[in-house]
Amino acid sequence: MLLTVKCRYDATRMIRSETVKQILEHYRVVWALSHAQGLMGWDSETYMPEEGIKGRAVARAEIAQLIQRFMLDEKFVKLVEKAEEERDLTEVERGVVRVLRRDLRFYQRVPPEVVKEFAKVTSEAFVAWRGAKEKAKFELFAPYLEKIVELSRVIADKLGYEEHPYDALLDLYEEGLTSRDVEAVFSVLEPGVKRLLARLESAGWPKRHPLEEVPYERSRVEAAIMEVLELVGYPKGRFRVDVSPHPFTIGITTPFDVRITVRYRGVDFKEPLFSALHEYGHALYELNIDESLAMTPVGTGVSLGVHESQSRFMENVVGRSREFVGKAAPILRRHLDFLSKYSDDDLFYYFNVVRPSLIRTEADEVTYNLHILLRYRLERLLITGEVKVRQLPELWNEEMDRLLGVRPRNDAEGVLQDVHWSHGSIGYFPTYTLGNVVAAMIYFKHGRVRELVAEGNFAALKDYLRERIHRWGSVYPPKELLVKSFGEAYNAEYLISYLEQKYRG
């Protein structure tokens, strides 16, 4: 079993095949170009002046096309094909070949002009989305989204699928995931969450807390967040925190340079606090991948669903627990004077307010997955053409009303709230729910999470996650990794059990 391996993972020792060694030599150029793309993407969302997009969009499109050209180099393709035929490959070598075969499948089937156009449109779309959101006017973003949806349909058709075109897009973010898998998860979560919401309503679980309305000084919250990150053990030399309109994590050179962002609205300090813990969970995954896998095709997280499990585990299972409140409260009170009159119990209920809300990133653990269900259903309809882009605002509002009983007052609160579609990430959203499911699985499979948090033993938790998930990068497909580590994959019953246990009243 994977779990019994105790020695340090050494990919250089594990690469025995001369063919795979040649593959990795060629791939180093692809990695370097991707490194440049990552830096440009991070800069676009943090420090780049708005007018800079005119050149940035062209540069990123050219690099995207250059990556495709390197990947489709005849010599490289033949090396991958040769390696596929070798029978005595190590697990690492098989992982390298599997990941590259998936990449080659994309580049061989999706024409270069589509790759270039997609990179250009999404670079421009981010700036258009940001402006549209500021003005709460979907029509400013709609033309870009129409192009993105059209290109996504082309990509799905080129990649191929067995049952539904959306499955081809799901697979880009979560290897092997299909609409059937997603439907199976939501068939458990939708009724389970609604039952729990009804019970919490009758039990009088807090829907609001006074601290949600308290303004804060950004510099003080920033200082508190950095000290909380020190509490959980972030590595200062390989990690930085910046500000962006939508919090994100990026591994520039995993595991040596990983960056996160948060945002500050000036009120309700739990929002930036838990954004930081969420993104730290993502960053921790990349930071704990074995260094010997760096700059190889398997030197990053295996999928967005598994990745999201790490961020949701750190944000919710750890960060919103009573035990974590006990550890973090002294830090928060030291930096935020207004907390002096609030007890640890007050903070726990403030961190765990449950109510239907408009904004996904601010949603509580109980209602969060209903936000994802909405996006999943709309995306599938967009890809089949059953729903047109211009219909999205009204359909979004109607579905929010049906699922959560709330209705956005404007497009910024509704269809424009997420950055993902501007990035072209159609098929991404279901991985958030998969992350919640796996985070709950980790909680039950470990069995002592709350005890370790109460002890402040975050090192032991990180060691567990490193051994079970992080260190292996993309060596194994996501479902195989989860089965090896936990005995099963994507069992939504664990999430319902976790929520019912925590919110029993």
Token duo for residue 128: 């258009």
Among all residues, which ones are annotated catalytic? 279
Fill in the DSSP letter of residue 374: H
What CA–CA distance (Å, rounded) separates 62 from 70? 12
Contact status, residue 124 vs residue 112, Cβ threshold 8 Å: no
Contact status, residue 359 vs residue 417, Cβ threshold 8 Å: yes
Element (H, E) at 55: helix 53-71
What CA–CA distance (Å, rounded) separates 163 from 168? 9
What CA–CA distance (Å, rounded) separates 124 from 52? 10
Residues that constitute the known binding site = 278, 282, 308
Residues that constitute the known binding site for Zn(2+) = 278, 282, 308
Q: How many CB atoms lie within 10 A of CB 54?
A: 11
Contacts of 129-137 with C-beta under 8 Å, sequence gap 24+, read: 129/416, 129/419, 129/421, 129/422, 130/245, 130/422, 132/411, 132/416, 133/245, 133/411, 133/412, 133/416, 133/417, 134/412, 136/410, 136/411, 136/412, 136/413, 136/416, 137/411
- Report the residue count for the chain: 505
Assign domain 179-502 one CATH number from 1.20.58.110, 1.10.287.3610, 1.10.1370.30, 2.130.10.10.
Answer: 1.10.1370.30
Q: How many CB atoms lie within 10 A of CB 444?
A: 16
- Domain layout of the chain by residue ranges: 10-165, 179-502
What CA–CA distance (Å, rounded) separates 286 from 363? 25
Token duo for residue 449: 């999470």
Per-residue pLDDT of the chain (505 residues; tens, 9 = 90+): 443 333 344 455 668 999 999 999 999 999 999 999 999 999 998 999 988 988 998 999 899 889 999 999 999 999 999 999 999 999 999 999 999 999 999 999 999 899 889 989 998 999 999 999 999 999 999 999 999 999 999 999 999 999 999 999 999 999 999 999 999 999 999 999 999 999 999 998 999 999 999 999 999 999 999 999 999 999 989 999 999 988 899 999 889 999 999 999 999 999 999 999 999 999 999 999 999 999 999 999 999 999 999 999 999 999 999 999 999 999 999 999 999 999 999 999 999 999 999 999 889 999 999 999 999 999 999 999 999 999 999 999 999 999 999 999 999 999 999 999 999 999 999 999 999 999 999 999 999 999 999 999 999 999 999 999 999 999 999 999 999 999 999 999 999 999 999 998 5
Provide the greatest CA pair distance for the chain: 68
Query: pTM of this prediction?
Result: 0.91
Measured at the alpha carbon of residue 253, what is the angle toward residues 298 and 108, in degrees to the nearest 5?
A: 45
Token duo for residue 328: 């973090």
User: What pLDDT, on the 0 to 100 scale, is given for residue 326?
Assistant: 97
What CA–CA distance (Å, rounded) separates 104 from 68? 9
Strands 239-243 and 257-262: parallel
What CA–CA distance (Å, rounded) separates 16 from 18? 6
